[in-house]
Structure 1
Amino acid sequence: MDPHRENGQSDGPNPKKQKPSPPPPITDDEILAEFSHHDPSVARINNGSFGSCPSSVLSAQSDLQLRFLRQPDHFYFNSLQPSLLRSRSLIRRLVNADDVSEISLVDNATTAAAIVLQQIQWAFAENTFSKGDAVVMLHYAYGAVKKSIHAYVARAGGHVIEVPLPFPVHSEEQIVAEFRKALDLGAAGGRKVRLAVIDHITSMPSVVIPVKELTKICREKGVDQVFVDAAHAIGNVDVDVRDIGADFYTSNLHKWFFCPPSVAFLYSRKSPASSGLHHPVVSHEYGNGLAVESGWIGTRDYSAQMVVPAVLDFVARFEGGIEGIRTRNHEKVVEMGKMLAEAWGTCLGSPPEMCCSMVMVGLPGCLAIENEGDATKLRTHLRDEFKVEVPIYYNSLRTGCCGEERNGSSLVTSYARISHQVYNVENDYCRLRDAINKLVKSGFNCGMLSSA
């Protein structure tokens, strides 16, 4: 007797197992349920500031937190590092890094900047770099990063140069031209440019920067190291760190990638420069490489760094995954930006191809926003009186909206930065439109608001 037949096996080939059908795309009602913890009375068109985390990911995070509290020693010795490694491995594939050792998980992009700048500070302190050597950054660099550059680099003897970018901006060529000038200035008098800090997406005003081209220019001009601050990038634009070619690249995972706050990754390309990176918080893993050091900086809540698999499960419910999400977000925010600009007689701050899931829309000049304080007051007024949450940017270096277009007889001096994420609906933007139109019709200007 054939033993295979006796065991219920056939001589022929095994039948192919049918792959399970993919689940149907997420519905509008399911999206609403995932973000039901948002305040329903607020038109939240400011995903760019703090991001958003769906309920399913929050549930996964809560499970991890309870697992730690239930038996901390078991969690630390058996679960924490494998979970962090899995998150790092998933991020490595998403951003096309060569090796998982190049990916570290940290609290946020500001922490990542501190890690890179700390190394630059040591190079000045140890005379590896000469006093007066330069660090170049964009004028529109994020405020905390600009202050970090001055705190770490200027105090150590470095010369800080800001690239004055135009706004509104009409083409990438404008940015490239100004960047070349700044690098030439940095190298004047025999100085060396030791570091270039380049935003992938500037925060305020929001513009997508041609980071690959600027990195290439840095290589041509002999800049030692390139750090791309891409706080808004992952989940918002395509990220391929090998293609971009920078030494260091960081992006928050809690802004546009649906993680809970706060978590970011720092990519550090394998090189002599990256071998000297250390986490600013020194703990037991010091000297074992940045990725390992960052995986334990003392007792804290690491759950935000461990939920990347749950985030990928969430985005897989959308047609096209994260690529489909960012494409639809971009298309919708440009559509809403154009609608607002037409309603207010203004314009967008940059061409659609230089926008991401955030767009700058000129506000009517008659609102009389004359400084950053006025912008803050108007933002607060919109929040308190109209339940609309949107950042307002005062354009101190303005050249005019779309060149020299004017709103009535008043030059546009400020812009609203609108975001679009999967939970947003068209009515959110209509509420902003109607609030501004009501203020304009009533003869309102920012001088009427108290400073309190």
Structure 2
Amino acid sequence: MASPDGNHRHPETNGEAKPPAPKKQKLSTSITDSEIQSEFSHHDASVARINNGSFGSCPQSIISAQQRWQLRFLRQPDSFYFNDLKAGILESREFIRSLINADDVSEVSIVDNATTAAAVVLQQIAWGFTEGRFQKGDVAVMLHYAYGAVKKSMEAYVTRAGGRVVEVQLPFPVSSKEEIITEFRRALERGKENGQRIRLAVIDHVTSMPSVVIPVKELVKICREEDVDQVFVDAAHGIGCVDVDVKEIGADFYTSNLHKWFFSPPSVAFLYCRRSAKLSDLHHPVVSHEYGNGLAIESAWIGTRDYSAQLVVPSVLEFVNRFEGGIEGIKKRNHEQVVRMGEMLAKSWGTQLGCPPDMCSSMVMIGLPWCLGITSERDTLKLRVHLRDRFAVEVPIYYRAPKEGEVDPVTGYARISHQVYNKVEDYERFRDAINKLVGDKFTCASLSA
């Protein structure tokens, strides 16, 4: 069966016959700078877009491939559903399996985003309470810097079902991974104080705000030593941003978006579930006709919708392999460049990075000058809008509450990203914008609410 891109599609039996392992494309030439700029020519050229971390970026060739899938569905939906959809999603799952070094394609489900993956895992934990397998007050542990939607999901599923949530209080700025490991151990101790069991640990691979690479392998190992039932790694920023080997990491669940750092269109993510009888009762939160056929098959059909972002994954792999070193080379260059740009900004503003370079990914936190007067989360939002509207700079800003006794504390940190389309001028524009605000004696108090 031929895909819209001319690739061969392999038929399947009940959605699970295994296609051949994907092969890395052998290319005669590497992508040029002009070709990169052409691939992202649909970006607003007037904006310094140094916030790839929030929504990712999709090149024009992948958008075109996606549109061909969309038209194929619209041309003859019945044929597409019965002949193409399952086989196409299975092939995408096999590509993902290879990327993350999972043992078998059955361990990989495709979902819309990491938030959906979290709902799958936390729903299962909630059932443990409601069905009496867990005791009221048993614990789920998560990082204080967990993504906001995951915190809400903890509230909706775990707390409401009778579980207790313990947060790992992490320092920021952070100077070493040992600080994180120490605080994680303390949180596990708090979780066990009243004889309760820790049923789940949710560990970010790369925290969003503030952005720090978490030592996941070390924390998963501690969970095993401390008899934590299940471990879920939320790596929304994982694929294309940090090293991902699910067997080395050793968690029960691992999720990552492909639309953030792997050039996929929104929205597509995967949920890896390590094979285990204990972990078999997992279901997509949207119940459709495939309920009961296993999470991967349930996730492949949740009703009529646009599945093109999930089907285009093999084309994305072809795109990244146009770069020297493929996704590994992209990841390395992004990390090195974002650290250089972060250090340039920190030097200009007389501040510092939020963590050592080896704890940065393709995103870096840089302290903003204290004289900007950032005193609250509201100030960070107002300043972000001001930078967008006046200087055409798109960058998220984080508020850090000052510690008692601090003099002229750095309370605002910018999170910059680097992706292949970024140029040095993007960061210089940000540098110059902040320097102008400082020179004009600007403070956030001058901005209207």
Q: Deviations over 1:368-406 (max 9, x none)?
A: 000000000000000000000000000136689xxx7xx
Does 2:228 match 1:223?
yes
TM-score by length of 2: 0.93
Partner of 1:426: 424
1:305-325 CA deviation, whole Å, 9 max, x = no partner?
Answer: 011111011001100000000
Residue pair 1:166, 1:174 contacting (<8 A) in 2 also: yes
What is the CA distance between 1:59 and its match in structure 2?
A: 0.4
Q: Does 1:92 align with 2:97?
A: yes
Contact 1:135 1:195 survives alignment (8 Å): yes
TM-score when scaled to structure 1?
A: 0.93
Report the residue type matching 1:419 in the other structure.
S
Number of the residue aligned with 2:214: 209
Contact 2:346 2:367 in 1 (8 A): yes
Distance change >3 Å, CA 276–CA 21, structure 1 → 2: closer
Range moving further from structure 2, 422-431 or 20-29 = 20-29
Q: Which residue identity is paired with 1:411? A: P
Deviations 1:192-235 (A, max 9, x none): 00000000000000000000110000000000000000000100
Correspondence 1:140-155 to 2 at 5 A: 140-155=145-160
Deviations 1:23-69 (A, max 9, x none): 21111100000000000000000000000000000000000000000
Instruction: Report the secondary structure of 1:189's partner residue.
Output: coil
- Contact 1:201/1:209 (<8 A) preserved: yes
Taking the TM superposition and a 5 Å limit, the aligned residue runs for 1:228-377 are 228-377=233-382
In the TM superposition, residue 419 of structure 1 has moved relative to its aligned partner by: 0.0
Partner of residue 448 from structure 2, selected from 439, 446, 450: 450
Give the alignment partner of residue 392 of structure 2, picking from 384, 387, 392.
Answer: 387
* One-letter code aligned to 1:362: G
Retained in 1: the 8 A contact 2:199–2:228?
yes
Give distance in 2, aligned partners of 1:201 and 1:137: 13
Are the equivalent residues in 1 in contact too, given 2:370–2:410 (CA < 8 A)?
yes
**Contact map agreement 1:167 1:399 (CA 8 A) in 2:** no
SS in 2 for 1:281: coil
Whole-Å Cα distance in 2 between the matches of residues 371 and 126 of structure 1? 42
Query: Do the aligned residues in 1 keep the contact of 2:402 with 2:411 (CA within 8 Å)?
Result: no
> After superposition, where does 1:167-182 map in structure 2 within 5 Å?
167-182=172-187
Q: Distance in 2 between matches of 1:314 and 1:63?
A: 16
Q: After the TM superposition, which parts of structure 1 deviate over 3 Å for at least 4 consecutive aligned residues?
A: 397-400
Residue correspondences, number: 425
Aligned AA (2:224): R
Q: Distance in 2 between matches of 1:112 and 1:87?
A: 17
Is residue 136–residue 183 contact of structure 1 (8 Å, CA) maintained in 2? yes
Distance 2:354 2:402 in 1: 13
Superposed CA RMSD: 1.2
Q: Do structure 1's residue 164 and structure 2's residue 181 form an aligned pair?
A: no
Residue 75 (str. 1) matches residue 80 (str. 2):
yes
Unaligned runs of 5+ in 2: 1-24
Q: Counterparts of 1:287 and 1:221 in 2: how far apart (Å)?
A: 33
In the alignment, is the contact (CA less than 8 A) between 1:167 and 1:398 conserved in 2? no
Q: Secondary structure at the match of 1:41?
A: coil
SS of 1:369's equivalent in the other structure is coil
Structure 1 residue 272 displacement after superposition: 2.3
Q: Counterparts of 1:342 and 1:180 in 2: how far apart (Å)?
A: 35
> 2:441 corresponds to which letter in structure 1?
G
Stretches of structure 1 that go unaligned for 5 or more consecutive residues are: 1-19
State which of 99, 108, 111 in structure 1 corresponds to 2:113.
Answer: 108
Q: Distance in 2 between matches of 1:173 and 1:218?
A: 16
Q: Supply the distance in 2 between the matched residues of 1:434 and 1:399 (Cα, whole angstroms).
A: 31
CA shift at 1:188, angstroms?
A: 1.1
**1:168-199: per-residue Cα shift (whole Å, max 9, x none)?**
00000000000000001101121000000000
For 1:72, the aligned partner's letter is: P
1:41 partnered with 2:39: no
Identity value in percent: 71
- Look up the equivalent residue of 1:124 and give its one-letter code: F
> What letter matches 1:439 in structure 2?
L
Correspondence for 1:198: 203
- SS of the equivalent of 1:190 reads coil
CA contact (8 A) 2:139 2:196 kept: yes
Are 2:130 and 1:134 equivalent residues in the alignment? no
Cα distance in 2 for residues equivalent to 1:397 and 1:73: 60
What amino acid sits opposite 2:59 in the alignment? P
21 and 194 in structure 1: CA distance in 2 versus 1, 3 angstrom threshold: closer
Q: For 1:1-40, what aligned pairs fall within 5 Å after superposition?
A: 22-40=27-45
